Amino acid sequence: MYIKNGVMGMKKASIMDDEFYLGLAGKLAARNKMRLAIPIASVIADSDGIIGIGENRRINDNSMVEHAEIVAIEDGGRESITRLQNATLYTTLAPCLMCTGAITLFSIPRVVIGDNKTFAGYVDILHDHGVEVIVMPQPKLTDLLATYIDKFPDVWAEDNGGQ
């Protein structure tokens, strides 16, 4: 076990566990909601464990680009570039166009999505670039975002360029 940015995880996982890492992303999203931030989070992991974690920090950092997927990629640092090419990105919400571009740019081969009802994302572009996409519907994540959107519709409208 190890702690990174206050999150406990497994440093050396012998197998990829989609439920574990998507569950971890869900816990991060719930923690983000408690901070009054957009409750979206991502975890990137490979067979050696967690590469990076990210929470949507647009509100906290007054940023237009700090989506959870981008923050998770950045969290891995430059040395993670080769690991990303054998990793899975776990995200609580289907990736927007910007995050889809980052996934394809860094050749992340696999994405696991917890909610594609709230926002369908750009799964077709991921498929076109050879990315394996798995949707594991998580009703708690959908509810978490629905509650947030009801409370902060204007903030939500900003999150994907007003779409």
DSSP structure string for 30-73: HHHHHTTS---EEEEEETTEEEEEEE--TTTTT-SS--HHHHHH
Q: Which pair of tokens denotes residue 123?
A: 């799964």
Q: Catalytic residue among 69, 74, 79, 132, which? A: 69
Alpha carbon of residue 26 to chain centroid? 9
Q: How far apart are CA 137 and CA 140, in angstroms?
A: 9
Q: Is 139 helix (H, G, I), strand (E, B) or coil?
A: helix
In contact, 43 and 21? CB cutoff 8 Å:
yes
- HSE toward the beta carbon, residue 26, CA cutoff 13 A: 19
Is residue 69 flagged as an active site residue?
A: yes
Alpha carbon of residue 23 to chain centroid? 11
Which residues are identified as catalytic?
69
